[in-house]
Amino acid sequence: MDTTTEKPPQHRVVVIGGGFGGLYTAKALRRAPVEVTLIDKRNFHLFQPLLYQVATGTLSPADISSPLRSILSRSKNTSVLMEEVADIDPDRQIVKLREQELPYDTLIVATGVSHHYFGNEHWKDHAPGLKTVEDALEMRRRIFMAFEAAEKETDPEKRKAWLTFVVVGGGPTGVELAGAIAELAYNTLKEDFRSIDTTETRILLLEGLDRILPPYSPDLSAKAEETLTARGVTVQTKTKVTNIADQVVTIERESGVEQIPSQTILWAAGVKASAMGEVLAKKAGASLDRSGRVIVEPDLSLPNHPNIFVIGDLAHFAHQSDKPLPGVAPVAMQQGEYVAKLIQKRFQDKTLPAFSYFEVGSLAVIGQNAAVVDLGFIRFSGIIAWFVWVVAHIYYLIEFDSKLIVMIQWGWNYFTRHRGARLITHREAVRQPPEEKMQVTTEEKMPVEV
């Protein structure tokens, strides 16, 4: 297809995925002479960086989600389709949905990643990850259920297992989760129980490399570990997880192999590409990296398919440095805006220089008043870092009411140490002895993402 010919309103842009990448593409095209269709399996955009706060009872899913139709409702050239993409045909230039086919002139694939259990998919039932709203609600259920179960448990060994939380993965997600659970156990829930003392809770953060927050500079990693430890988290680096079974984690360290009895094991360790990566490999000749991510050209398109772009977490972009760009929100946002601009440039028979990511910085929060910030030219931690983290996250929330609600919830949490969303929903513990729990979770298992 000759994309350099100007095509007034009939140029059809199909965007698959309503996360940061797809959404920012669509928004940036709202005044362009194109017809945009945004497809997503869900009807809302999810602000994933704050999912861990849904999992630990501070925020509700709706606080960090915005209906896609609502965000795009004023973009009159854009329609939203709640559908799942089964396949694509690059020769006919169509996207195959469940019951219809959608033709495109330009296709943008931004379907992100899902959990990766390094070949041990059966670990999924024992150690939920944190990518979707349902993931977060399941984590929340398990976390708060553990304290309830401990309260009723008379056997001291079993009670200890209920009060042992294992977070696998020392990246930002794992650090934030572990820090938040520590706040629950050592602060929020302290006065709420009568049989147990929640300050006896053990929270383990396991990381295979030699330090947590590996993408950050070593001094920030050290600071984060110091803060986490001071707040009650036991950080174990150079620790590999070799097995996860019902109620027990097996780890391997220099000192040998160890088994940790725990009722609540949370996965924050690995991601792999969504299934669209494979589809593009099979149908469009795309090359994939080891995680299944699609290797893209300097302008984010596929080799031999200048009208198919891959952006966001699904893309492997290694033209800026020897390491591919990380799967973080600002990368996806900037790539989305770049592609939108490129499409419009092409109408004028122009093009753009290669995509170049402008890294603002990296932020990770540890808990109240504590975060680490790496802006490249400057790195700092502590309460000012925490404040920067707060402001940045409020800024990036899409809808104004989300910003307001989240600020209220955070303000409330800060001043009262209460958390506003500590609900156990979608299965009461009393109907689930531990042996049954795994079966039920399997029924609830989220389908593999497209």
What is the set of active-site residues? Answer: 176
Three-state DSSP at 276 gives helix
d(CA 315, CA 312): 6
Q: Which of 2, 91, 99, 322 binds a copy of itself (CB under 8 A)?
A: 99
Segment contacting a copy of itself (CB under 8 A): 98-106, 166-174, 200-208, 250-258? 98-106
83 binds a copy of itself (CB under 8 A): yes
Segment contacting a copy of itself (CB under 8 A): 65-73, 240-248, 258-266, 268-276? 65-73
> What residues contact residue 311 under an 8 Å CB cut-off, 6+ apart?
21, 22, 25, 108, 109, 110, 300, 332, 335, 336, 339
Token pair of 384, please? 């000012």
Interaction residues for a copy of itself, span 213-242 (CB under 8 A): none
Q: Which of 52, 104, 144, 186 binds a copy of itself (CB under 8 A)?
A: 144
Buried residues in 302-322 as b, exposed as e (16+ CB within 10 A): beebbbbbbbbbbbbbeeeee
Segment contacting a copy of itself (CB under 8 A): 5-13, 104-112, 184-192, 318-326? 184-192
Binding-residue pattern over the window 25 to 44 for a copy of itself, x denoting contact by CB under 8 A: ----------------xxxx
Closer by beta carbon to a copy of itself, 222 or else 429: 429
Segment contacting a copy of itself (CB under 8 A): 192-200, 203-211, 218-226, 356-364? 192-200
- Quote the strand ranges of 7-103, DSSP E: 11-16, 34-40, 44-46, 65-67, 78-82, 87-89, 94-96, 101-103
Q: Which of 2, 8, 10, 98 binds a copy of itself (CB under 8 A)?
A: 98
424 binds a copy of itself (CB under 8 A): yes
Three-state DSSP at 199 gives helix
Q: How many residues bind a copy of itself (CB under 8 A)?
A: 59
Closest distance to a copy of itself from the beta carbon of 400 (Å)? 8
d(CA 180, CA 409): 15
Binding-residue pattern over the window 337 to 366 for a copy of itself, x denoting contact by CB under 8 A: ------------------------------
Segment contacting a copy of itself (CB under 8 A): 103-111, 295-303, 363-371, 401-409? 401-409
155 binds a copy of itself (CB under 8 A): no
End-to-end CA distance of the chain: 26
Closer by beta carbon to a copy of itself, 60 or else 227: 60
Q: What is the dihedral of CA 413, 418, 420, 426, to 10 degrees?
A: 140
Closest distance to a copy of itself from the beta carbon of 133 (Å)? 5
∠357-360-363 over CA atoms, to 5°? 125
Segment contacting a copy of itself (CB under 8 A): 187-195, 264-272, 328-336, 363-371? 187-195
Q: Please name the residue that has the structure tokens 């299934």.
A: 275
Q: Which of 89, 408, 414, 445 binds a copy of itself (CB under 8 A)?
A: 408
Closest distance to a copy of itself from the beta carbon of 58 (Å)? 9
Can you name the residues that pair with 89 across neighbouring β-strands? 94
Measure CA 201 to chain center.
Answer: 26
8 A C-beta contact, residue 159 and residue 247: no
d(CA 52, CA 57): 9
389 binds a copy of itself (CB under 8 A): no
CA dist 317 to 154, 332, 333, Å? 54, 11, 14
Which H or E element spans position 206?
strand 202-206
Closer by beta carbon to a copy of itself, 71 or else 212: 71
Phi then psi dihedrals of residue 66, to 5 deg? -135, 130
12 binds a copy of itself (CB under 8 A): no
65 binds a copy of itself (CB under 8 A): yes
Q: Which of 240, 299, 412, 438 binds a copy of itself (CB under 8 A)?
A: 412
67 binds a copy of itself (CB under 8 A): yes
10 binds a copy of itself (CB under 8 A): no
CA dist 15 to 119, 323, 338, 340, Å? 30, 26, 14, 11
421 binds a copy of itself (CB under 8 A): yes
Closest distance to a copy of itself from the beta carbon of 327 (Å)? 23
443 binds a copy of itself (CB under 8 A): yes
Alpha helices, H only, 101-171: 133-152, 156-162
d(CA 49, CA 313): 13
429 binds a copy of itself (CB under 8 A): yes
8 A C-beta contact, residue 194 and residue 249: no
8 A C-beta contact, residue 246 and residue 253: no
Could you list the residues that contact a copy of itself (CB under 8 A)? 41-44, 60-63, 65, 67, 69-70, 73-74, 79-84, 98-100, 133-134, 137, 144, 148, 151-152, 189, 191-195, 399, 401-402, 404-405, 408-409, 412, 416, 418, 420-426, 428-431, 443, 447
